[in-house]
Every structure is written in structure tokens, then in C-alpha cells.
Amino acid sequence: MPIGDCDKSIYYVDWQYTLRAGTPMPTDNPGTFKYHTFMAEKSKIHSYSYTKSLPSSNSFRGQYGQYVSANFSRLLDQTGDVFQGKIVFSPIYIDEDAIGHGDTDSGFIDCTTLSVSYNIMGIATVSFSVVSAEPGFHIKSAISAGGRTFSGYVTSATVSRIPNTTWYQTQVTLIATT
């Protein structure tokens, strides 16, 4: 449900979860690694469909405010300056199990969002979106692509409503091996 008022802003409240972790280290068993985690961050996000005002610089954490980042783009509008964008608030620290480590059955992977990047150790960072008609996190800890199955740990998950629809997307980042 969007929040706002007709003269100012229309926005959705989304949540981003990020795993705090060290660099994955290979084990004696080829193709496997250990991943040392230490808590997770939960950040509130305001996703603006429409706003006439932009945040001031003193609203950001570096100037003792509550925002970590923000980005906005101007929209063409008959009434003047109108923007869409998002604001990410300072995180709170939570137990890493809140992110989730298993698969959920609902939702489908939007294949156009798939991105795979390997490091020198052969560890892949896999990013993709899961689309669902149901709100909440829809996490996949394994995904098949290019003749390989990538299986690993969820390092980041963000859920947001797809603007102007009743659908939701969970953006997932895995650290994985094949």
C-alpha cells in the first residue's frame, strides 16, 4: 500500500537485508568454501513513485542524519519538478538467520535479471530477482544457468513492490560454487 499525500509524495516502504561476512575461504574439498558471518543488517527503504522534494544533505549519516544513501531521477510533469527514487535508512543489526538460507516454493526467477561474476578462486557472486504475487521474501539458495547449478549462501536480499502492480520482487545475491 503506497503512503503519501497528493501534494507531496507517494512512496512504498521496502526492506533490505545484507549479510555481514568475511571473504569466503576455500576448503580442502574442491568446489567448497567456508563463509564466516557476523550478524546481518536490516535497512528500511522508501521507494518514491512521486515526490516534489529531495532530501537535504544534513539528512545523511555523514552529517548526523538517518539516511545512508539516496538517488532520484526527474520525471516530466506538467506541474514542474517531480522526482522518483529511493532513500536507504541507517541499518539496524540483526541475527543473520533473519535473511534465510533455504528456498521458498513461491515465485519465479526473472531470467533477465541474472548476473554471474567469478573471482580468482572460482567463487561466483550470483544476482537475480524472484517475482511473486505474495509479499515477503522469496529466496532461492541455488540456481541453474549455463549448464551449471550455483549453490551457496544468500548475502543480500531486498524485497520491494513492483510499481503500479500487485506483484513483488525479491532481489537476491548469492555467494556460490558450482
Give the start-to-end residue ranges of the domains of the chain. Answer: 3-177
Cell of 58: 544534513
Q: What pLDDT sits at residue 31?
A: 65
Q: What pLDDT sits at residue 98?
A: 66
Per residue in 48-62, pLDDT (tens digit) is 888 888 999 999 999
Greatest CA separation for the chain: 64
What gap in Å lies between CA 29 and CA 63, rounded to an integer? 47
Contact of 154 with 125, CB cutoff 8 Å: no
Per residue in 59-108, pLDDT (tens digit) is 999 999 999 999 999 887 767 788 989 999 999 988 876 655 445 556 77
pTM of the model as a whole: 0.63
Nearest to 94 by CA among 44, 129, 140: 44
